Structure 1
């Protein structure tokens, strides 16, 4: 593990993932890997519920890790991989809330009050892909309850958690090991921090917000049809 991302989801982690992979720090572990390979859901559920924390097994084959759920364990990962550099992705707290409340948090809150049609879909997913059916429980254990005390519908609380998190990472990680980064800054600070040349191609700008719900529904139907 060469790079650990300490930034919350919806702080440009998808863009940074693409950038790190272009720079040779891939493959990069991201929530998208958990969704793409449902057995990883059970791994994180074991972490969240205190049964196992075999970081080397979870991140086998990866050179970097960003986004939740990994970012919720930044302290543990920074200690376990002492030679890895740490990148804290940040953005304006208000804009972060607008983004996360319309995507990740909205999806998590919807799980609490599923209409009949979605309950039936969930039952089909549980039959075809039992590991992925544990995703809501895993998300609660590793992020929603662990990081936000379950109060993901409380704007002021969530923003306070976000700001406190940024302060804690800054105070904990040594300055020469930490980069506080916004994707709009582009290649310059990232490449200087990692000690690598600046690529010729533009810095990736991946905006998953408009397609978030569509991609999630598509994934559920693929699981039902293919069972993986």
Structure 2
């Protein structure tokens, strides 16, 4: 079947909440950076190959029906061409709040140190998230906001309008379900992976003790995903 939904929004725009939402309404499993880390021994080499120009999309997305967040968002054009029937969702939020969120979490030196002690992981981030353009902007609010706005506008300009939903954090179920042609579920839309939740969980990794093993990272993030899903949709 392949991907039915492709997320084009940058990380920290409600992408993990969207992952759980898509899975809940029938578009799962949904790929997300957390899925890559939870399966990093198998998936990390595939992403490095893909980023170097040898796409491994069939292997990466085997068993997945949607994608959101990094690293998939960085390849949304390629994925949209690979899966021409897939809908595209651009998650977005207030640009200044996005800057404050990424600066405190996924793009902070502390967060990066927990992962980039692994040479292959460092190469992966360099090839996908932290290219030379964004490295020059890190920590500079004006330049990062410019990057964010330019990214969003490029998606709006380049994605076919009939395939695209611009989805702001906090929009809830209605526009999402209307766009995808599915009923609105009775449960509240998920709100997960707050700055506090994320830093508490990744704080379990102490970079001063050396790079964590892939097995350790898979266990930590796998458990985190299970906890967030239980929080979003308690049984």
TM-score (norm 1): 0.83
Unaligned runs of 5+ in 1: 112-117, 127-132
- Where does the alignment leave 5 or more consecutive residues of structure 2 unmatched? 219-235
**Aligned equivalents of 1:153, 1:56: Cα separation in 2:** 36
In the alignment, is the contact (CA less than 8 A) between 2:4 and 2:87 conserved in 1? yes
Q: Hey, what's the Cα distance between the residues in 2 that align with 1:7 and 1:225?
A: 27
RMSD: 2.6
State the 1:143 CA deviation: 1.1
Asked whether the equivalents of residues 5 and 67 of structure 1 are also in contact (C-alpha less than 8 Å), the reply is yes
Give the length in aligned residue pairs.
211
| Cα shift at 1:211 | 2.4
Distance 1:208 1:14 in 2: 10
| Equivalence for 1:196 | 182
| CA positional deviation for 1:68 | 0.4
Q: Which residue of 2 aligns with 1:44?
A: 47
Give deviations 1:92-128, integer Å, cap 9, x for gaps: 00000000110011047853xxxxxx89x94xxx5xx
The equivalent position to 1:35 in structure 2, one of 31, 34, 37, is 37
Q: Report the counterpart of residue 5 of structure 1 in structure 2.
A: 7
Question: Residue in 1 aligned with 2:197?
Answer: 211
Query: Contact 1:97–1:155 (CA<8 Å) still a contact in 2?
Result: yes
Paired residue for 1:142, among 128, 136, 142?
128
Q: Measure the CA separation in 2 of the matches of 1:225 and 1:143.
A: 19
Would the aligned equivalents of 1:13 and 1:66 in 2 still touch at CA under 8 Å? yes
After superposition, the Cα gap between the structure-2 partners of 1:156 and 1:81, relative to the gap in structure 1 and judged at 3 Å, is same
Structure 1 moving runs of 4+ over 6 Å = none
Matching residue within 139, 148, 151 for 1:153: 139
Change (3 A) 1:210 1:11: same
Structure 2 distance, partners of 1:107, 1:70, is 22
Secondary structure of the residue aligned to 2:134 is coil
Cα distance change of structure 1 residues 176 and 36 upon mapping to structure 2, 3 Å threshold: same
Q: 1:168 aligns with which of 154, 177, 195?
A: 154
Counterpart pick for 1:177 among 160, 163, 185: 163
After TM superposition, give the deviation of residue 57 of structure 1 in Å: 1.2
Task: Confirm or deny: 8 A CA contact 2:95 2:148 kept in the other structure.
Answer: yes
Tell me, in whole angstroms, the C-alpha distance in 1 between the residues paired with 2:139 and 2:128.
17
Give me the whole-angstrom Cα distance separating, in 2, the residues matched to 1:146 and 1:136: 14
